[in-house]
Amino acid sequence: MKAIGIILAGGNNEKLDALTSNRAAAAMPIGGCYRALDFTLSNMSNSGVNKVSVITQYNSRSLHDHLSSAKWWNLGRKYGGLFVFSPYLSNNNSFWFRGTADAIYQNLSYLTRSNEPYVIIAPGNSIYKMDYEEALDFHIENQADITIVSKKLYEENLHEYGVMQVDENNRLIDFEEKPIEPQSNLVSLGIYIISRTLLINLLESILPQGRYNLVEDIIIRYRKKLKIMSYEFNGYWKNINCVKSYFDANMDFLNKDIRYMFTKKYPFIETKPKDEPPTKYNVGAKIKDSLIGIGSILNGYVEHSVLFNKVYTGENTSIKNSIIMNKSYIGNNCIVENAILDKEVILSDGKKIIGTCEKPIIISKSTVV
């Protein structure tokens, strides 16, 4: 493919509450075995993008561990492959990344030492399956300076996104970042296609002016000067930008069609595998409409829930409409409903954790109740 990839995985989203106190949003566990980053990373590899950089910043240790080997995404290559960039201090630079544009600028050598004519920039915290090559073909055919991948959303929270207005030819007319009163329902998915040389020129132009953001300082500022096109994506897409969206994304995996799209329909979404034994269902265990990770030992009742790897549930315990992350232990006679239990949580016998569908209760990592 004639493009290199850049995945922006350094964001610190406070709307995810305690879930991102020890991890980046891109490292959030999804669907029983994935991390959020796996979806964009697999999309890059499956689209033929053989040189991909992941730019991290906040709470990046779990991401670095997850990306310790590039072979799982077919990016363990002699030429190209996977690059992981984090902020570093030097005589010439004493800043962390001050924005998305600055994150790319501080790793400008990745662009200048590449030969591919195009760059695909995407966030690391979105759940979707997409062939970027189709969007690149659209970009080339329309002779666009920048192409933004967009989607029409029919939700009440449009003010959480970048909202676009386009003409009859899908050329960008206006762009509002998180507007109070959205003027359309066409939102940016944070995926951009741009010429590599144009991106270098734009970054070298805006950074000396103290401008550090891709959206505000390139997309919005240059929207009338550059030919910016909208490529509409019609498939499944979920952005992990708050607790509710994270909860809903995991529950979507209980839908067979959505789950099979990622796991059974080629090309697949790949992840770093875990070598654990199969799940053990003891006598009396009853599981209904749930995803269960490997290495788990189940004794009680589980309904409409997502359990990750090595979860233990005790006798007479009931779990409904909940997410239980790796290595959590739930004792006997417990009730867990509408909850998110982070990694290595321990519930002693007889405990009740009950939230609501609109506001799931969160138990932080390694908490003992």
CATH code for position 48: 3.90.550.10
pTM for the full predicted model: 0.94
> Residue 249 domain-assigned?
yes
Say how far apart CA 287 and CA 303 lie, in whole Å: 6
H helical segments located in 171-271: 196-206, 214, 243-252, 256-263
Domain membership of residue 64 as a residue range = 3-263
56 and 126 share one domain: yes
pLDDT tens digits for range 101-155: 999 999 999 999 999 999 999 999 999 999 999 999 999 999 999 999 999 998 7
Same domain for 197 and 322, yes or no, is no
Name, in order, each residue with C-beta under 8 angstroms of 308's C-beta and a sequence gap of 6 or more: 29, 32, 33, 293, 324, 325, 326
**270 found inside a domain:** no
Query: What pLDDT digit, counting tens, does each position of 233-275 carry?
Result: 999 999 998 999 999 999 999 999 999 999 999 999 999 988 8
> How, if at all, do strands 286-288 and 228-232 pair?
unpaired
Residue 269 belongs to some domain of the structure? no
Boundary of a domain, candidates 237, 263, 289: 263
In this structure, the answer to whether residues 201 and 337 fall within a common structural domain is no
Report the CATH number at residue 297.
2.160.10.10
Query: Is residue 268 in some structural domain?
Result: no
Q: Is residue 272 part of a domain?
A: no
Same domain, 195 and 312: no
Number of domains, the chain: 2
pLDDT of residue 86: 86
Q: Is the same domain home to 154 and 35? A: yes
H or E element that contains 193? strand 186-195
Shared domain for 259 and 291, answered yes or no, is no
